[in-house]
Homo-oligomer: A and B are copies of this chain.
Amino acid sequence: MARVTVKTLADELGISVSTVSNAYNRPDQLSARLRERVLSKADELGYAGPDAAARALRSGRAEAVGVLLTERLSYAFSDPYAIGFLTALSEVVEQHHVSIVLMPLSLDGDDLDLTAVRRANIDALTTLGLADNHPAIQVAKARGVRLVYSDVGEDPESTWVAIDDAGGGRQLGSHLRSLGHENVAVVVDTNRPAGSEARELTDDQIGFVDYASRFRGLRETLNRRLRLVSAGHNAIASGRSAGSWLLRRSDRPTAIVALSDVLALGVLDAARDLGLDVPRDLSVCGFDDIPAANPAGLTTVRQPIRDRGRRVAELLINPDAPDRQMLLPIELIIRSSTGPAL
C-alpha cells in the first residue's frame, strides 16, 4: 500500500491538494467544517501531517536552528558553560516550536569533518566557543544558512551577540598585575585529544577558539610577563595535567590563568596535589563563573552566558529582530584563589 500524501487525502475527499495543505497551514483559508473533515480523514488514513523534508524544500524553512559547539559534541554536555548557554537558548526556542540541531564537529585524525554541518537541515546557525572564522562557519555561510556570530564583526549587516572577552582579559590582567605577579601562565584548551601533553605555545597557535580575545586582553595588560600553555580539551583532567606540568618546572609561575573555569578547577587540583597553598604559593583564576566556581573560591570573569543564550535564540528565530549587534559586559569576580605574589 502506497504512502499517504496530501494527494491521497484530496482524492479521497474529492477536494484539491491545496485545500488539504491549507487545512494544515492556513486554517483561516477554509471553512471550519471542511477542515474538520480533512483532519478526521487524515486520522483515519494514518496521515500524520505534511512530510518534513518536502515541506522544508518547498517552503524554504526547516523550523530548526543549529548550534555548533566547540570540539566534539559529546564534550559539550560536560561543560557547564555550554549547558548554561543551551538552557537559556532552549527556553526561548521552545516557545516557538522550533527544534535545536546539534551538529558534531568530529576530528578525523587531524582535520575536522564538516559533513554534519553541510547536511543539517537548519534555518540559522550559531556557535559557542568557536572563532567566527572557523571553517565550519564558512561552510554554513556558503550554504546560505543565516548566521548569528559570537564575536564582534566588522560587517554592519552581520548579526552577532558577543561577550566582552577582551575586556575580561584586561580586567583580570590588571588585577594580577596589581597583586604584583610578574610570571603568569595562561592555560588554554586547544581541542587536542585527551592525554595530550601540555606544551608552550606561541600567541598565534591559540587556534579557532573564541577565547583568543580573552588571551589578547591578558596580553595587553600583562605584556611580556605572560606565557601560553596548551591543555588538551576543556575538562578538569586537562587543567590538572597542564597545571601539574607548569608547577613542576623550575620557572614556576606565581599565577595561572585558565581560559575557562573548568580548566582552572583542574589547575587547583594540580596545586593541591603538589601541596601548594592557594593563594599563598600560587594564584589561580578562570573565566566563566560556572556554578562550581563559587564553592571553589575561584577568582574568575563572570560571563553573562544565559543572557547571551536568550539573545542569540531570539536572533536565530527572528532575522528581523532589532539590536542585531550586541556586546554584553563581563564582571570580574574576586574570590579567594588570588593573592599577592610572593
The docked-state distance in angstroms from the alpha carbon of A100 to that of B67 is: 10
CB distance from A91 to the nearest CB of B (A): 4
Instruction: Among B72, B95, B99, point to the contact of A101 (Cβ < 8 A).
Output: B99
Copies in the complex: 2
Interface pair A101/B104, CB less than 8 Å apart: no
The docked-state distance in angstroms from the alpha carbon of A53 to that of B55 is: 8
The docked-state distance in angstroms from the alpha carbon of A232 to that of B217 is: 45
Interface pair A98/B74, CB less than 8 Å apart: no
| A304 at the B interface (CB under 8 A) | no
Interface pair B78/A48, CB less than 8 Å apart: no
Contact with B along A79-104 (1 / 0, CB 8 A): 00001001110110111011111111
The docked-state distance in angstroms from the alpha carbon of A71 to that of B298 is: 34
Instruction: Among B60, B95, B116, point to the contact of A98 (Cβ < 8 A).
Output: B116
The docked-state distance in angstroms from the alpha carbon of A77 to that of B99 is: 15
A87-129 contacts to B (CB < 8 Å): 87-88, 90-91, 93-95, 97-104, 106, 113, 115-116, 118-122
Interface pair B119/A121, CB less than 8 Å apart: no
| A296 at the B interface (CB under 8 A) | no
Instruction: Among B78, B101, B139, point to the contact of A64 (Cβ < 8 A).
Output: B101
A26-68 contacts to B (CB < 8 Å): 46-49, 51-57, 60, 62-64, 66
CB distance from A191 to the nearest CB of B (A): 14
- Of all chain B residues, which has the CB nearest A103? B99
Residues on B with beta carbons closer than 8 Å to the beta carbon of A73: 90, 93-94, 100
Interface pair B83/A52, CB less than 8 Å apart: no
| A144 at the B interface (CB under 8 A) | yes
The docked-state distance in angstroms from the alpha carbon of A87 to that of B51 is: 30
Interface pair A102/B104, CB less than 8 Å apart: no
Closest 8 CB pairs of A and B: A94-B104, A48-B142, A53-B56, A97-B115, A53-B57, A48-B143, A74-B90, A121-B121
Q: Show the binding face of A for B, using Cβ within 8 Å.
A: 3, 46-49, 51-57, 60, 62-64, 66, 72-74, 77-78, 83, 86-88, 90-91, 93-95, 97-104, 106, 113, 115-116, 118-122, 139, 142-144
What are 14 A-B residue pairs whose CB atoms fall within 8 Å in the complex? A46-B142, A52-B118, A53-B60, A56-B57, A57-B57, A63-B119, A63-B120, A64-B121, A73-B93, A77-B90, A94-B116, A97-B104, A97-B113, A101-B102
